[in-house]
Structure 1
Amino acid sequence: MSHWAGLLSAAAKVNLLLLLVSVVFSWPSQSDRVPEFALTKIEESDTKGDSGKEPVTEDDADPEDLEVFYPTRQWQTIRPGQAVPAGSHVRLNLQTGEREAKLPDSEHGKSEATDERRRKRLGKVDVDSNSFTSQELKKALAKMKESEKAERKAHEEEVRKKFRPIEQLKEEFEKLNVKMETDYEIMVKLISKFNSSTSTLEEKVAALYDLEYYVHQVDNAKDFLSMGGLRLVIEGLNSSEAALKEHTAFVLGAALSSNPKVQIEAIEGGALQKLLVILATEQPLPVKKKALFALSSMLRHFPYAQQQFLKLGGLQVLRSLFRQKGTEPLHVRVVTLLYDLMVEKMVLEDSQHGDHTQEKIQQYQQVRLVPAVLEQDWCVVVSNLLAVPEHDTREKVLKTVAVLMAFCRERFRGDPALGSTLGLLRSEYEELAAQEQREGDKDGYFRELLGSINTIIQELR
């Protein structure tokens, strides 16, 4: 020591003394030395104080008594009483004798943008999320909850401004005498408007238009009957106004659909005769379309009405439509009606389901539809429709021809035009079916039509 004392100045002696003191206090951490004689250690390793007793941890101390040290990427001095976050790097500065700390070197690679997002997400605390103490986390979470409550309260206030309370709405509705109306009440008002002498033509048509929507339902149609609405629309079929005829027939057809009770009341009220008059006389096409719709609704699944239809010459009336100009759109509708009536009877006769069905069969046996079809030469009328270009129409006509085959076979065989038409159709649908198959549709629409054509050709040989 005397040799070193002779060579060093007074200032050097002081520095040497500080060095020795630092070595004594940091002897367990000599392996953590860094340049400039700075001693670095992990704070968790410092488990005992100078007195040899267990130090008071941050969890044991009162959180209000601890001042948290927030490390950065630069060395900062640790003031007495400050709690250093776990995982921080700590060193003793030999020049000043003060302890310093900073974030671990492994964090240097993280971007400032990431740090900024983390600080914003965690209540703007300028500390890495991995270095939080439990008290800091609790404080940060408390701030977040307070912020969420404030945002939720602001949102609720905004919603309250846009919408009025239900109690206020009820009061306003009561002042306006607004209430929900039932279908029955609505139909009563519509019938009253249609029947009122003060209503204009436009108002009556509008009332009928709305009525058609309601009477589609079976229960509403029955109510419509009980309140006298059916009688009014049947009378409206005699109107001199084409618009009223059209819409009364539309309402009548909607009420008749699949509703036996209304069907019985309608035929007893003379609706069948009035509809046949419209179809037999000169009327605008929209009027005849709606009249044919109402007639179809009356006849389907109602053998008594079908009997009366034949007795009144209804089949001749439909046949006459094929001789009238401008009625072409009705032709396929008529053929479809005939097809449905014939199939309906055939299906019922083939079924065996008890006494109720036997009674129905007896009723249908009195409907002499097929003889009337043959007498009026419907075989030719139907087959001629195969020349139309629409595939949908051809499909319906082919089905009707197949049903009539048992009765019209000889008539079909004697019709050279039918044979030529079937040959052209087969060539056309062979090509279309082949195209379907190339596209991966083995059981397509055109293949089905081709099958129907081939079956008819085979039966005519």
Structure 2
Amino acid sequence: MKLGCLNLTLLLISVHCLNYSWSENSQQQKVSALTVLEQTEENIEKKKEEVTVEDDLDPEDIEVFYPTNEWQIIKQGQAIPAGLHVRLNLETGKNEAKLPDDGDGKSGLKYWKQGSRHGMVNTDSESFTAEELKRALKLMKQEGNTETEEGHQEQVRKTFRPIKELMENFKAMNVVMETDMEVIDKLVSKFNSTSVTLEDKVAALHDLEYYVHQVDNAQHLTSTGGLQLVINALNATEPHIQEHAAFVLGSALSGNPKVQIEAIEAGALQKLLILLATDQPVAIKKKALFAVSSMLRHFPFAQQQFLKLGGLQVLGQLFQAKGMESLRIRVMTLLYDMVMEKKLIQEAQDNTVQHQEKCRQYDVVNLLPPMLEQDWCMLVPKLLTSTEHDTREKVLRTMNLMISSCRNEYRAMQGLISLLNTLRSEYEELAAEEQREGEQDGYFQGLLNSVNDIIKKLG
């Protein structure tokens, strides 16, 4: 019992001493004001570290100036709140500051700001508590964020247009935006108008050709009657209209079975063959031949109609016509493609119903026999005299395709064997050069193989 009383007495004495010590320390550290400063860019650069204000920052870790009613030395680079008395001590040569005299000695809690610096000043006799300091820091942080946000919003307003203005502009843009089909309708209407000039009609056809390369656009032109207008324009009296109409037609037909069917039923093939058979400028014949090629490729019914309408004879005349040398390769390439097209279909290993139907359609297209009857065996080899390798390639390819039927004509053709031997020597050198450069199966090796195949079959 006595031991317990002794312990209690010692505990009370310790508590009393602790309270007394805390009171003495509080009196010694009591100040009349406290300034909280943000770190400036200069201070940050000096310290080589980044300072961040947090809600729970310890106030003892912040560099502050404690103004009192007594003059205190202002350290170099230390900021002080506005409103303090400042003087230069002539004895020491240093700047000093103190709180202003307010009469009653009470000025309360004040917020100060100087440029980018801001803080809180407590001029009461009591110093800041930890909670007061946290609230002050939080207030400054919020105020700084508000200013930053306001500046950001102002910068956004200067840089970007308001959303309402943008929406109005988008709305205006949508008014003038048109689909391809709408443009095609306007071009057809312009071309069909009687109040526009010849140049306007030609320009409309020129623009129309650009759009009908697309399958859907070409089919739209057909469904709205525009294709018929273009086909009718092949009979126009103005050569520029005929030329551009044939160009539009050829582009619309390319790889587009629906348009091919519509065009053949509308009589386009007959009109194109007339342009090729009659006296027309080279530009018109070139575009008409392009349209015929687009009509016939992968369309056996059109190929059959082509033969019935005497199209092979028309191409033969065009091939031999004076001044049409630039079209000879195009004619020969078209005939080769049609013969090879049928051959590939017949040789394909396909037992589907669709393939059987294709074979049936190509069976009625007999292009090679009439080509032999119309001396194409003698016409094709003449192009071997060309100096262009691309032309020679197409001629050799066509000759190889026809050689089983044209062997006797090739043998009887004066100078052909000699010409083939000359080409073989030339391509042997070019192929050897390719091999030295590391190309074992190069372009010229392929040409050499074609020449050797023909020579071997004729031997």
For Structure 1 versus Structure 2, the TM-score category normalised by the shorter chain is: 0.5 to 0.7
Q: 1:363 to 1:161 in 2, by over 3 A?
A: same
Counterpart AA for 1:281: T
| Equivalence for 2:214 | 217
Q: Give deviations 1:328-385, integer Å, cap 9, x for gaps.
A: 1110001110111001100111123322222221221111211110000101111111
Q: Find runs of 4+ consecutive structure 1 residues off by over 6 angstroms.
A: 79-82, 149-154, 156-159
Pair 1:301 & 2:303 matched: no
User: Whole-Å Cα distance in 2 between the matches of residues 389 and 164 of structure 1?
Assistant: 64
Alignment of 1:382-421 (within 5 A): 382-421=380-419
In the TM superposition, residue 297 of structure 1 has moved relative to its aligned partner by 0.7
Alignment of 1:326-341 (within 5 A): 326-341=323-338
Between 336-345 and 158-167, report the one with greater CA deviation.
158-167
- Correspondent of 1:197 among 194, 197, 200: 194
Counterpart AA for 2:175: V
User: Whole-Å Cα distance in 2 between the matches of residues 331 and 414 of structure 1?
Assistant: 23
Q: 1:423 to 1:185 in 2, by over 3 A?
A: same
Question: Do the aligned partners of 1:412 and 1:418 also contact (CA within 8 Å) in 2?
Answer: yes
Counterpart AA for 1:226: S
| Equivalence for 1:370 | 368
Alignment of 1:228-239 (within 5 A): 228-239=225-236
Question: Do the aligned partners of 1:242 and 1:287 also contact (CA within 8 Å) in 2?
Answer: yes
In the TM superposition, residue 152 of structure 1 has moved relative to its aligned partner by 12
Q: Give deviations 1:210-236, integer Å, cap 9, x for gaps.
A: 211221121211111110011000000
Q: 1:65 to 1:194 in 2, by over 3 A?
A: closer
Alignment of 1:277-356 (within 5 A): 277-351=274-348, 352-356=350-354
User: Whole-Å Cα distance in 2 between the matches of residues 376 and 250 of structure 1?
Assistant: 29
Q: 1:198 to 1:396 in 2, by over 3 A?
A: same
Between the two structures, name the one with larger relative contact order (CA 8 Å, sep ≥ 6). 2
In the TM superposition, residue 64 of structure 1 has moved relative to its aligned partner by 3.1
User: Whole-Å Cα distance in 2 between the matches of residues 190 and 247 of structure 1?
Assistant: 13
**Match of 2:407, SS?**
helix
| Equivalence for 1:451 | 449
In the TM superposition, residue 322 of structure 1 has moved relative to its aligned partner by 2.3
Q: 1:198 to 1:452 in 2, by over 3 A?
A: same
Question: Do the aligned partners of 1:234 and 1:248 also contact (CA within 8 Å) in 2?
Answer: yes
Q: 1:164 to 1:313 in 2, by over 3 A?
A: same
Question: Do the aligned partners of 2:319 and 2:331 also contact (CA within 8 Å) in 1?
Answer: no
Question: Do the aligned partners of 2:208 and 2:248 also contact (CA within 8 Å) in 1?
Answer: yes
Q: 1:373 to 1:166 in 2, by over 3 A?
A: farther
Pair 1:258 & 2:273 matched: no
In the TM superposition, residue 416 of structure 1 has moved relative to its aligned partner by 2.9
- Correspondent of 2:432 among 431, 434, 446: 434
Identity %: 59
Alignment of 1:49-64 (within 5 A): 62-64=60-62
Q: 1:320 to 1:170 in 2, by over 3 A?
A: same
> Under a length normalisation based on structure 2, what TM-score does the superposition of the two structures give?
0.66
User: Whole-Å Cα distance in 2 between the matches of residues 435 and 229 of structure 1?
Assistant: 54
Alignment of 1:16-165 (within 5 A): 62-65=60-63, 161=158, 164-165=161-162
Q: 1:169 to 1:354 in 2, by over 3 A?
A: same
Q: Give deviations 1:73-98, integer Å, cap 9, x for gaps.
A: xxxxxx9999xxxxxxxxxxxxxxxx
**Match of 1:181, SS?**
coil
In the TM superposition, residue 63 of structure 1 has moved relative to its aligned partner by 2.6
Question: Do the aligned partners of 1:216 and 1:255 also contact (CA within 8 Å) in 2?
Answer: yes
Q: Give deviations 1:362-416, integer Å, cap 9, x for gaps.
A: 2211112111100001011111111111111111111111111121112112213
> Under a length normalisation based on structure 1, what TM-score does the superposition of the two structures give?
0.66
* 5+ residue gaps, structure 2: 1-56, 66-72, 77-139
* 5+ residue gaps, structure 1: 1-58, 68-78, 83-141
| Equivalence for 2:164 | 167
Q: 1:451 to 1:161 in 2, by over 3 A?
A: farther
**Match of 2:219, SS?**
helix
User: Whole-Å Cα distance in 1 between the matches of residues 202 and 422 of structure 2?
Assistant: 47
In the TM superposition, residue 301 of structure 1 has moved relative to its aligned partner by 1.1
Counterpart AA for 1:446: F
Q: 1:201 to 1:431 in 2, by over 3 A?
A: same
User: Whole-Å Cα distance in 2 between the matches of residues 203 and 281 of structure 1?
Assistant: 27
| Equivalence for 1:423 | 421
Question: Do the aligned partners of 1:215 and 1:221 also contact (CA within 8 Å) in 2?
Answer: yes
User: Whole-Å Cα distance in 2 between the matches of residues 315 and 180 of structure 1?
Assistant: 47
Q: CA RMSD in A?
A: 2.9
In the TM superposition, residue 187 of structure 1 has moved relative to its aligned partner by 0.9
Counterpart AA for 1:416: Q
In the TM superposition, residue 163 of structure 1 has moved relative to its aligned partner by 5.0
Question: Do the aligned partners of 1:66 and 1:81 also contact (CA within 8 Å) in 2?
Answer: no
User: Whole-Å Cα distance in 2 between the matches of residues 309 and 427 of structure 1?
Assistant: 40
User: Whole-Å Cα distance in 1 between the matches of residues 221 and 271 of structure 2?
Assistant: 20
Question: Do the aligned partners of 1:433 and 1:450 also contact (CA within 8 Å) in 2?
Answer: yes
Aligned length: 330
Counterpart AA for 1:415: M
- Correspondent of 2:244 among 235, 244, 247: 247
User: Whole-Å Cα distance in 2 between the matches of residues 245 and 191 of structure 1?
Assistant: 15
Q: Give deviations 1:13-61, integer Å, cap 9, x for gaps.
A: xxxxxxxxxxxxxxxxxxxxxxxxxxxxxxxxxxxxxxxxxxxxxx987
| Equivalence for 1:381 | 379
